[in-house]
């Protein structure tokens, strides 16, 4: 079976393209890309899997270690994707591998909702890291489920207080997952075209500052900005006291722009005034990605509910919702159950991963390395000011926002070309279907690998521009 060229996003089918030979300490490209020896497997992937599972660069991952990814044909990439921001402590950290190996040989491999020591040990550890008001851990398998659980529990709480306290607020541009409730809390509108009965009680506030860098637009009164959004909802019949919760993606992953601190603090004050839960989605930003254990710490506010996942294990599927017992423990037994949540093997990986984050000082390292990324990206922006609009970010979560040379407008296709050219030069990037290039490497990445990878992206941009 042979691969064929395709310009349509969402396919692994791609004719090999010639590349220059690259051999550095951290990158090795010795074949055309995709590697000829991987074409059959890529074609089978395109045949067996839906396009939504085939939209990343056509590279057949064979193994990964630390901050590097390898195929089976001798090529090696610096990984700036962290497998969708997951591998916080690196791919296959030896301590995590050993914990999984030991548990796999001697421990539970199935558990459901029965008690086990390893699950209790992890829950205790997470509550020690969380704010004091967090008293319980609600385990799940992925981030979407934690947001789904937060949505259900928030409404359960609200409607026990007042049968009409069921409205949910969120923000345009947020992403909270793909399950039925989480996808309606995501994005610009709850009215998804495939939904025959969209939830009419989920409402989107305008995102603050996310389109103009780190709050560097002309808004100075962020409390007033929030009040304006709330007033607009009131005109549509949504009273503040009827709101159960407001969701916020701590840092919107597609844009990597922190919220204005005064906006988040105003949101906290408003939520307190109306007995509204403030739910922070930390699935992408938790466990050191932004330079603190949880990203909401940058804002100096309380998070009533905290959704976590991804970096919790740096490997296996595990997620959780953290919060006070009077919210987490609202449902009766039998009202909800999930087979694999808090799987013991994943718990073993999580405990080892948390040890690594602490013992290797990776969270302060994210702060230091984030400054290197900011410096290097700003240099690229200076060199390519016509196409790189800005380079926002915090810790080891940054993006380059790409715009069209002629129109000055965001350009998804140009960003896609830049990403592909960078992959051909040994830097693994994530396809986001947005006009951005996302930089989110594992926290264990070395300084010189960071610099080399960003420099290679610059080479890729220059190569693409020369053909425009």
Q: Three-state SS for 116? A: coil
**Would you say 277 and 293 are in contact if contact means Cβ atoms under 8 Å apart?**
no
Q: For residue 194, what are the CA distances in angstroms to 172, 184, 190, 348?
A: 19, 11, 11, 39
Share of the chain above pLDDT 90, in %: 87
For residue range 229-250, list pLDDT tens digits in order: 999 999 999 999 999 999 999 9
**Closest Cα partner for 183 from 148, 141, 153?**
148
Calculated CA dihedral for residues 155, 157, 159, 160, nearest 10 degrees: 160
Which residues in the chain are classed under CATH 3.40.640.10? 94-359
Secondary element (H or E) of residue 23: strand 22-23
Count CB-CB contacts under 10 A for residue 169: 27
What is the bridge-based pairing of β-strands 388-390 and 167-171?
unpaired
Taking the C-alpha atoms of residue 70 and residue 78, their distance in angstroms, rounded to an integer, is 9
Calculated CA dihedral for residues 92, 98, 101, 105, nearest 10 degrees: -170
Taking the C-alpha atoms of residue 260 and residue 208, their distance in angstroms, rounded to an integer, is 7
- Ramachandran sector of residue 327 (left: φ over 0; alpha: ψ -120 to 50; beta: rest): alpha
Secondary element (H or E) of residue 346: helix 344-359
Q: Is 182 exposed, middle or buried (0-12, 13-18, 19+ CB in 10 A)?
A: buried
Q: Three-state SS for 251? A: strand
Q: Tell me, what DSSP letter sits at residue 301?
A: -
Sign of CA dihedral 418, 420, 422, 428: positive
285 contacts: CB under 8 Å, gap ≥ 6: 250, 251, 253, 294, 295, 397
* pTM, two decimal places: 0.95
Q: What is the mean pLDDT of each run of 10 residues along the chain (468 residues)?
A: 42 90 98 97 95 94 98 98 97 98 95 96 98 97 97 98 98 93 84 86 86 52 95 96 97 88 97 98 97 97 98 98 98 91 97 98 98 98 96 96 95 96 97 93 98 98 93
- Report the top-level CATH class of 94-359: alpha beta
Which pLDDT does position 74 carry in this prediction?
98
Which residues in the chain are classed under CATH 3.90.1150.10? 22-89+362-467
**Closest Cα partner for 324 from 169, 150, 442?**
150
Tell me the chain's radius of gyration from C-alpha atoms: 22
Instruction: Give the total residue count for the chain.
Output: 468
**Would you say 189 and 202 are in contact if contact means Cβ atoms under 8 Å apart?**
no
Taking the C-alpha atoms of residue 118 and residue 99, their distance in angstroms, rounded to an integer, is 12
Q: Three-state SS for 157? A: helix
Q: Is CATH 3.10.520.10 the classification given to domain 22-89+362-467? A: no
Which pLDDT does position 10 carry in this prediction?
61
| Site of tokens 């791919």 | 91
């Amino acid at each position: 079976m042979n691969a064929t060229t395709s310009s349509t996003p969402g396919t692994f089918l791609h004719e090999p393209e010639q590349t220059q030979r690259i051999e550095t300490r951290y990158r090795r490209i010795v074949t055309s890309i995709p590697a000829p020896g991987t074409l059959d497997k890529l074609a089978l992937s395109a045949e067996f899997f839906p396009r939504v599972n085939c939209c990343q660069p056509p590279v057949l991952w064979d193994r990964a270690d630390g901050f590097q990814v390898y195929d089976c044909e001798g090529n090696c990439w610096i990984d700036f994707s962290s497998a969708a921001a997951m591998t916080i402590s690196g791919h296959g950290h030896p301590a995590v591998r050993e914990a999984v190996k030991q548990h796999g040989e001697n421990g539970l491999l199935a558990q459901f909702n029965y008690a086990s020591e390893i699950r209790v040990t992890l829950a205790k550890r997470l509550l020690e890291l969380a704010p004091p008001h967090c008293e319980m851990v609600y385990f799940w398998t992925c981030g979407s489920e934690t947001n789904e659980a937060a949505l259900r529990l928030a409404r359960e709480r609200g409607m026990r207080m007042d049968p009409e306290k069921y409205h949910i607020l969120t923000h345009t541009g947020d992403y909270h997952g793909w399950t039925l409730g989480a996808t309606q809390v995501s994005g610009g509108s709850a009215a998804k075209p495939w939904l025959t009965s969209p939830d009419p009680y989920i409402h989107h506030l305008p995102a603050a500052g996310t389109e103009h860098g780190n709050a560097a637009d002309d808004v100075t009164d962020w409390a007033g900005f929030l009040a304006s959004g709330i007033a607009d909802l009131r005109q549509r019949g949504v009273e503040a006291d009827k709101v159960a919760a407001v969701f916020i993606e701590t840092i919107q992953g597609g844009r990597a722009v922190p919220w204005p601190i005064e906006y988040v603090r105003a949101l906290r004050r408003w939520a307190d005034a109306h007995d509204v839960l403030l739910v922070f989605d930390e699935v992408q930003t938790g466990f050191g990605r932004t330079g603190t254990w949880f990203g909401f710490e940058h804002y100096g506010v309380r998070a009533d509910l905290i959704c976590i996942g991804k970096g919790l294990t740096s490997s296996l599927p595990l997620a959780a919702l953290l919060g006070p017992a009077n919210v987490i423990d609202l449902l009766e037994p039998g009202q909800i159950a999930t087979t694999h949540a808090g799987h013991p093997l994943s718990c073993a990986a999580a405990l080892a991963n948390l040890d690594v984050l602490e013992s290797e000082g990776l969270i302060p390292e994210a702060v230091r390395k984030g400054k290197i990324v900011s410096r290097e990206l700003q240099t690229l922006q200076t060199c390519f000011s016509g196409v790189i609009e800005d380079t926002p970010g915090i810790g080891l979560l940054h993006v380059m926002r790409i715009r069209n040379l002629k129109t000055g407008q965001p350009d998804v296709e140009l960003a896609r070309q830049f990403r592909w050219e960078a992959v051909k030069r040994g830097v693994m990037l994530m396809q986001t279907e947005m006009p951005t290039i996302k930089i989110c490497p594992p926290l264990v990445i070395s300084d010189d690998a960071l610099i080399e990878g960003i420099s290679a992206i610059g080479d890729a941009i220059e190569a693409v521009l020369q053909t425009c």
